[in-house]
Amino acid sequence: MNAAAAIALLKTIKHLGTGLLRRATQTVTRFEEIGLGRLPSRLQRCQADRCPVCSNSAQNPIQKRLVYLVSASNLPSGGNKVIYRHVELAQRDGLAVEVMHPERPAGFRYRWFEHAVIPLADDQLCPSRDHLVLPEVWAALGTKFCKPAGFAYSIFVQNGYLLHLNAGFTQAMLREAYTAAEHVVAISDDSAAMVSRAYPSIAESRIFRVVASISRQFKPAPAKAREITFLRRKLRSHSERVEAYLQPLLPAGWSLIGIENASEAGVAALFARSAIFLSFSELEGLGLPPLEAALAGNRVVGYHGQGGKEYFDPPIFYPVACGDIHGILDQTLAAIADFEHNPQGTPDMLAQREALKLTYGAERERQTVLNFQHAALATPAGADPLAAPRRSSIRNIRQTN
């Protein structure tokens, strides 16, 4: 056996050994694989008197820190982009807010969109300092990890239709995690309503409704091309059928463009040029692509995905019931005819676009996100979320914005 083969064999043995050790750890801890990664088995409670994370003695006051946990995958995901955006907002305002990729805590960061976030490189957290923000798909960690270790935590629900995911644990543990969370953050009215429906014991005062803003790079080009864009990753079985059936119906000069694995800048460039966007959103928390397309000057045809009901209104949007392929074909042809008659859009369309810019604008996002983050940073470690009433953040948003 030559040296290269020996090295390859050693790497294989190491890989197999690591895999066996991981599965043994998962068996003992009940941490199971989830989604594109694994539950963060490295998370551990700081036992040292002098904490290696914050470099302060455990007996001395420590500045609170908010840490968003998020999966390590560079596939485009609107939810991950929103988390990075919220961390950037906080850091610009001088708050101690960070993001951690517990599956790959050393050197990983999202590279498919521009940002200034530098994720935490360490994988050790301090319960006397850190308030964790768990994504809804990892919510069960509240029961399995946060409570036993003494961490205060909140749950960020970016999809109200994923509240049942227990990450390999029991539904009872998942329900306990939501019940014990300091706050539950919701990205849309629909997600907030689903939280209240799935976990009615959670008081409205503990639910914070935050807003996602749309990047300024999503804006229309001076002249629109006769192009129809859609995302192939969304309900591919539907989009493939629509693509096949719509293609022969298109007037001369019109084309369909399927977008796949494009960067945010690449998507923005395509949306700027296209005239129509086909939405195949299914059970979404909010649905950013239809909003981004609308602000880039597209007429949007298709599914609102439930979460998008709060903005999916005519004349910009042409809502179609999920699965109604006939409806998508008919409404797309209607949008084409409308574009040919008025390529720049009607005054009502322009007014609706300006309203969307305000509703999903940077300032409203900043106000709602900082409202939650200030509340979370004020939470003592291990506090009982039921011990004292909280301000009704949903009601405040509706009254002040």
- Domains in the chain, ordered, with CATH? 40-213+361-401 (3.40.50.2000), 227-359 (3.40.50.2000)
Local confidence pLDDT in tens for the 401 residues of the chain: 566 665 565 555 554 544 444 444 344 333 333 333 344 444 544 444 444 444 444 444 568 899 999 888 888 788 888 999 999 999 999 999 999 988 777 788 888 888 888 888 766 778 888 999 999 999 998 988 888 888 899 999 999 999 998 877 889 999 999 999 999 999 999 999 999 999 999 999 999 999 999 999 999 999 999 999 999 988 999 999 999 999 999 999 999 999 998 889 999 999 999 999 999 999 999 999 999 999 999 999 999 999 999 999 999 999 999 999 999 999 999 999 999 999 999 999 999 999 999 999 999 999 999 999 999 998 665 555 444 333 222 223 222 33
Strands (E), 158-211: 184-186, 207-209
Task: With H, G, I as helix, E, B as strand and everything else as coil, classify residue 186.
Answer: strand
Structure tokens at 148: 């036993």
Structure tokens at 8: 């390859």
Task: With H, G, I as helix, E, B as strand and everything else as coil, classify residue 283.
Answer: strand
Q: What gap in Å lies between CA 297 and CA 286, rounded to an integer?
A: 19
Alpha helices, DSSP H, located in 199-324: 236-246, 264-273, 288-295
pTM comes to: 0.80
